[in-house]
């Protein structure tokens, strides 16, 4: 089954202790689309400016990514610059230039309106809701990502959108902020009351938690000798997670747990190199081999 993704397509400037790149294709929707396309066809909705070249489009072409929803507008593509501190656990945003993204008003091509799986990447909550309102029928699964900026500035709009979704995929600090509660278990209980009955809490190098009202599952981050650039890890996690669920088109405790592992697998690959570099060369054989390593990493007897 296909997955629809709506979100940012960007040029990123990235600085980490291992190097820097001044301008590389990024954006939440880009990471998600590449990651999910290993599992299932993706329909992308986003906006780019006239500085988006053929060689940028080529990164998305030749995969199972439908680009009919990729709009080109006059002006420059969204630009984001970030720096990571010594141990890569803190990200500082140096610049955010919205450019054509400032007037982004996602319009779904007719062929997208019956997509059964939807990922609303981190954009303004009213736009996320506007996407859902364009769907011809209720998707099987709607997942959403958001960030502190929207939690602080548009809390009412976010609450309204959360009522319509199934899965919230966010960082632990944002889960705490959204719930106004430091303890993650109590924060999850608050969030279930807001709408989503499934919560995926990303905890960086500590892995991720799948939380539902009556169950919980933890997946580690894959131990790596060197993490080069954490950009896009969260969106690639979401791409692996939703992409896998859409590919099996079955949502139950077992498939959700396996989806968590595929999310963690995709997140672990993307951080090995700068930007999209690792996703560009990644193969399905490598993905399945690492999933099997996760099994060895976590299996034990009592």
Q: Which residues of 257-293 are buried (b: 16+ CB within 10 A; e: fewer)?
A: ebbbbbbbbbbbbbbbbbbbebbeebeeeebeebbee
Residue 154 binds to ligand AMP (criterion: CB under 6 A):
no
Distance CA 238, CA 79 (A): 22
Distance CA 82, CA 22 (A): 10
CB distance 146 to 79 below 8 Å: no
Site for ligand AMP in 201-260 (CB under 6 A): 231-235
What are the Cα distances from residue 269, in Å, to 12, 89, 170?
19, 17, 19
Structure tokens given for 168: 């919230």
Between 28 and 282, CB nearer to ligand AMP? 28
Structure tokens given for 139: 């998707």
Query: How many residues at the interface with ligand AMP, by CB under 6 A?
Result: 15
Q: Which of 4, 6, 28, 282 binds ligand AMP (CB under 6 A)?
A: 28
Between 14 and 259, CB nearer to ligand AMP? 14
User: Please, which residues bridge with residue 199 across strands?
Assistant: 168, 211
Between 23 and 160, CB nearer to ligand AMP? 23
Between 56 and 197, CB nearer to ligand AMP? 56
Between 219 and 233, CB nearer to ligand AMP? 233
Between 99 and 122, CB nearer to ligand AMP? 122
Which window, 4-12, 50-58, 64-72, 102-110, contacts ligand AMP (CB under 6 A)? 4-12
- In the stretch 65-104, what mask flags binding to ligand AMP with x, by CB under 6 A? ---------------x---------------x--------
For residue 150, count CB atoms less than 10 angstroms from its CB and return exposed for 0-12, middle for 13-18, buried for 19 or more: buried
- In the stretch 117-136, what mask flags binding to ligand AMP with x, by CB under 6 A? -----x--------------
CB distance 66 to 41 below 8 Å: yes
Residue 12 binds to ligand AMP (criterion: CB under 6 A):
yes
Between 67 and 113, CB nearer to ligand AMP? 67
Between 120 and 233, CB nearer to ligand AMP? 233
Structure tokens given for 137: 């029928």
CB distance 33 to 42 below 8 Å: yes
Q: How far is the CB of 234 from ligand AMP (least distance, A)?
A: 3
Q: How far is the CB of 235 from ligand AMP (least distance, A)?
A: 4
Distance CA 227, CA 236 (A): 15
Q: Which of 26, 125, 196, 204 binds ligand AMP (CB under 6 A)?
A: 26
Q: How far is the CB of 93 from ligand AMP (least distance, A)?
A: 7
Residue 8 binds to ligand AMP (criterion: CB under 6 A):
yes
Q: How far is the CB of 68 from ligand AMP (least distance, A)?
A: 21
Q: Which of 109, 2, 1 is nearest to 65 (CA)?
A: 2
Residue nearest to ligand AMP (CB): 26
Between 173 and 189, CB nearer to ligand AMP? 173
Distance CA 265, CA 110 (A): 33
Distance CA 121, CA 7 (A): 5
Q: Which residues bind ligand AMP (CB under 6 A)?
A: 8, 10, 12, 26-28, 31, 80, 96, 122, 231-235
């Amino acid at each position: 089954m296909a997955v629809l993704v709506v979100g940012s397509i960007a040029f990123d400037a990235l600085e980490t202790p291992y190097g820097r790149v001044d301008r590389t294709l990024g954006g939440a929707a880009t990471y998600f689309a590449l990651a999910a396309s290993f599992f299932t066809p993706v329909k992308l909705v986003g906006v780019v400016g006239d500085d988006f070249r053929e060689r940028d489009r080529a990164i998305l072409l030749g995969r199972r990514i439908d680009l009919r929803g990729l709009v080109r507008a006059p002006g420059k593509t969204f630009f984001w610059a970030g720096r990571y501190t010594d141990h890569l656990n803190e990200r500082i945003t140096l610049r955010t230039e919205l450019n054509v993204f400032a007037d982004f008003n996602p319009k779904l091509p007719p062929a997208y309106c019956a997509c059964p799986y939807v990922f609303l990447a981190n954009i303004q909550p009213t736009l996320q809701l506007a996407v859902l309102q364009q769907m011809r029928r209720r998707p099987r699964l709607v997942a959403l990502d958001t960030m502190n900026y929207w939690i602080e500035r548009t809390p009412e709009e976010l609450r309204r959108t959360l009522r319509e979704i199934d899965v919230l995929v966010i960082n632990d600090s944002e889960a705490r902020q959204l719930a106004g509660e430091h303890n993650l278990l109590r924060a999850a209980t608050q969030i279930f009351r807001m709408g989503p009955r499934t919560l995926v809490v990303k905890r960086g190098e500590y892995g991720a938690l799948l939380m539902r009202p009556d169950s919980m599952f933890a997946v580690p981050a894959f131990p790596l000798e060197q993490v080069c650039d954490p950009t896009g890890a969260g969106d690639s996690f979401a791409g692996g997670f939703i992409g896998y669920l859409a590919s099996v088109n079955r949502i139950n405790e077992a498939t959700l747990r396996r989806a968590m592992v595929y999310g963690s697998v995709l997140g672990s690959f993307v951080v090995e190199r700068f930007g999209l570099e690792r996703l560009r060369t990644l193969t399905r054989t490598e993905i399945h081999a690492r999933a099997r390593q996760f099994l060895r990493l976590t299996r034990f007897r009592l």
